[in-house]
Structure 1
Amino acid sequence: MTAGAAPAVGAGEGAPILGPDAAVCAHGKSPAILVDITGLSNRNGTVRVRTFGGATSTWFDKTKWQTKVEIPTPRTEPIRVCMPVAAPGNYAIDVRHDANANGETDRKDGGGASGNPRVTVWDFIFGRKPSPKQTAVHVGQGVTEISVTMMYLSGTSLKPLSETKR
């Protein structure tokens, strides 16, 4: 998908809203999630954002996403991506920074989710997903803004870069 941009509203006023549905968030009257992404390791590759809704048992299943936006990694902060949703309700978001844009998950790639849950390598190995209680985003009639902090592999955990350099 190609990225469009529209003027931002709210806390990040003046920053572009990215994604093919940027105007939905700029307008502010339709159900949508505006995802502020922070903590990228670099400005290479692509950023992918997905929305999950419906039964929480399907959240984070790589085949059950509802909306997906993939954009070239913007060269400057902030990164704000608009994810429209079909109706008010509870949703989850995941974000992936494909640092080398090869379409595969590598050790240098980062990830994050709504609610910024702590995740370990063991969670991936055993197929454990973050708790819906922690990752649920309630969307009403307008735009709901959330922040996702990217995490990168450090030992057997995924951590924000600020914690991996200690």
Structure 2
Amino acid sequence: MIALPLLSSALLLSTGFIPSTPELGKAEARCRANESGPALLIDIVGLKDRKGNLKLEVYPANDADFLQDDNILIAQGKVFRRVEVPVPASDPATLCVRVPGPGRYAVSVLHDRDGNRKFGLSVDGVGFGSNPKLGLGKPKALAASIVAGSGLTRERIIMNYRRGLMSFGPLTARP
């Protein structure tokens, strides 16, 4: 059964896709010292604990591209940015991510509590731009978007965690 991995590798090379790695989108996202923008400065609130990592990702603000595979977006020349940091030991948890220019972007934050780099429904937390109320599926891109200005745009994202069998939301009531 070696043919399938070889076929997959050949397909990736022939289509121009970049193999997915945790580093995709990070270089473009990294804020500089005294960042002037355009960039999003995101305050993460409502963390369940101080374990693991925070991963903030920026996508085009349309449903087809929101939460799409990172290497597909990059191969198609679309916006994708990623910032990943250990959860700070104390507040505030603020992440800075550069964006290509002023405009609307869909934003997601993962509290990867177990550090495995993927979302675990019963373990991890998520948050989205504009803090939409969550159901069991992903929100629409427009509901999870933030409008970036030409400088630093500061926003607050409230984290959501699984509560019970069919509920997903903030640990405390929304302010």
Name the TM tier (shorter chain): 0.7 to 0.9
- Residue deviations 1:55-96, cap 9 Å, x none? 453122243461101111111011111110111111111000
Count of residue pairs the alignment pairs up = 138
Report the AA paired with residue 97 of structure 1: H
Equivalences for 1:10-159 in 2 at 5 Å?
Answer: 20-23=30-33, 26-28=34-36, 30-53=37-60, 55-63=62-70, 64=73, 66-106=80-120, 107-121=122-136, 123=137, 129-155=138-164, 156-159=166-169
In the alignment, is the contact (CA less than 8 A) between 1:118 and 1:159 conserved in 2? yes
Q: Is the 8 A contact 2:128 2:145 kept in 1?
A: no
Cα shift at 1:22? 4.9
Aligned to 2:172: 162
Compared with structure 1, are the counterparts of its residues 136 and 54 closer, same or farther at alpha carbon in structure 2 (3 Å cutoff)? Answer: closer
* Cα pair distance change 1:62/1:162, threshold 3 Å: farther
Contact map agreement 1:22 1:82 (CA 8 A) in 2: no
Structure 1 CA distance for aligned equivalents of residues 151 and 105 of structure 2: 14
TM-score (norm 2): 0.70
Deviation string 1:89-121 (CA, Å, 9 cap, x unpaired) is: 111110000111122322120000001112222
Gaps of 5+ in 2: 1-21, 24-28, 74-78
* Cα displacement string for residues 126-162 of structure 1 (whole angstroms, at most 9, x for unaligned residues): xxx4233322211121111110000000131211011
Look up the equivalent residue of 1:27 and give its one-letter code: E
* Percent identical: 30
CA RMSD for the aligned pairs?
A: 2.2
Letter paired with 1:47: L
Counterpart position of 1:10? none
More strand by share: 1
Structure 1 residues 154, 62: CA separation in 2 closer, same or farther (over 3 Å shift)?
Answer: farther
Larger Rg: 2
TM-score (norm 1): 0.74
